[in-house]
Amino acid sequence: MAKRGVDLDGCLAEQNWKDYHSDYDPTKIGEPIPLMAERVRYWLSIGDEVDIFTARMNPTDEFKDSVPAFTEAFTIWSMKHFGIVLKLTCTKDSHWAEIYDDKAVRVIKNTGMISDGTDVDRFFQPQAIGL
Domains of the chain by start residue, with CATH: 3-105 (3.40.50.1000)
CA distance 101 to 22: 23
102 DSSP assignment:
S
Q: According to the model, what pLDDT value does residue 93 have?
A: 93
- Kindly report the backbone phi and psi dihedral angles of residue 98, in degrees, each rounded to the nearest multiple of 5, phi listed first: -145, 155
Confidence of residue 16 (pLDDT cuts 50, 70, 90): confident
Q: What is the pLDDT of residue 7?
A: 97
Kindly report, residue by residue over 68-125, the tens digit of the pLDDT.
Answer: 999 999 999 999 999 999 999 999 999 999 999 988 878 888 877 778 766 555 555 5
* 3-state SS class at 44: helix
Sheet of 3-7: strand order equals 87-89, 49-53, 3-7, 98-100
Residue 23: pLDDT over 80: no
Strands annotated E in 1-131: 3-7, 49-53, 87-89, 98-100
Q: Is residue 50 pLDDT above 60, yes or no?
A: yes
CB-CB contact of 71 with 88 (8 Å): yes
User: In the structure, what pLDDT confidence band is assigned to residue 59 with cuts at 50, 70 and 90?
Assistant: confident
